[in-house]
Amino acid sequence: MTIRISPSILSADFANLERELHRIETADLVHVDVMDNHFVPNLTLGLPIVQRLQQVSPVPLDVHLMVTDADVNAPKYAETGASSVTFHFEAADDPVATAAAIRSNGARAAVAVKPGTPITQVLHHLDAYDMILLMTVEPGFGGQSFMPSVMPKLADARAAVDASGLDVWLEVDGGISVDTVPEAVRSGADTLVAGSAVYGGEPAQRITDLREAAARARA
């Protein structure tokens, strides 16, 4: 199982985003949090900035939409050329159709669930998604503590994906650090979002540290 590291630019210097992207060029993806101050009580960046980031980023964009009306908004972000677009299950009227629209616009389709949202309905339609994002904090703000209570749900998702034979990635986002990576990886995560754990120090070294922590957990 390949482990991917996706640093979150929510923890980067917003005045120097192009520079911050190049500081993480050893990562597999860059996690771009889009918040609308409606679905979550925070406001970050929107479509024009994502379009520009796509033009200058040395790593593929992993766009995470924390916005209302996901059915309408998600396909627009796929049109930017982003590698992956994640929408929240809780914000979509028809998650399967929204995922299909993302794919039709050239991006990997991903669905996210909050810590308290059952994952059963998502697992019933595994073939509709390329990735499932399990939030390990309440979405909206960086710097929160990892929630171990999400790990049984992650383990259920891993079992379902393995049984299906499908290539569906399992991503975790929230409180990920060298200390919490082992539990996440042992529970089935293969894609790790880390904000302050990367940008809180020298990013290239922090990315290496996360990879090594994941490798030890799998040994």
Is 71 annotated among the ligand-binding residues? no
6 in a known ligand binding site = no
Catalytic residue among 28, 62, 130, 173: 173
81 known ligand binder: no
175 assigned binding-site residue: yes
Tokens representing 84 are 């992956």
Q: Tell me if 14 is assigned to a ligand binding site.
A: no
28 is catalytic: no
Distance CA 53, CA 30 (A): 10
Catalytic one of 33, 62, 130, 190: 33
Specify the pairing of strand 169-173 against strand 191-194.
parallel
- Supply the angle between the helices 70-78 and 95-104 in degrees, to the nearest 10: 20
Beta carbons within 10 angstroms of residue 102's beta carbon: 29
Sheet of 131-135, strand order: 4-7, 191-194, 169-173, 131-135, 108-113, 84-88, 61-66, 30-35
Q: Is residue 94 part of an annotated ligand binding site?
A: no
8 assigned binding-site residue: yes
- 94 tagged catalytic: no
149 marked as binding residue:
no
Please report, in range form, the residues annotated as the binding site for a divalent metal cation: 31, 33, 64, 173
Please report, in range form, the residues annotated as the binding site: 8, 31, 33, 64, 140-143, 173-175, 195-196
Instruction: List the catalytic residues.
Output: 33, 173
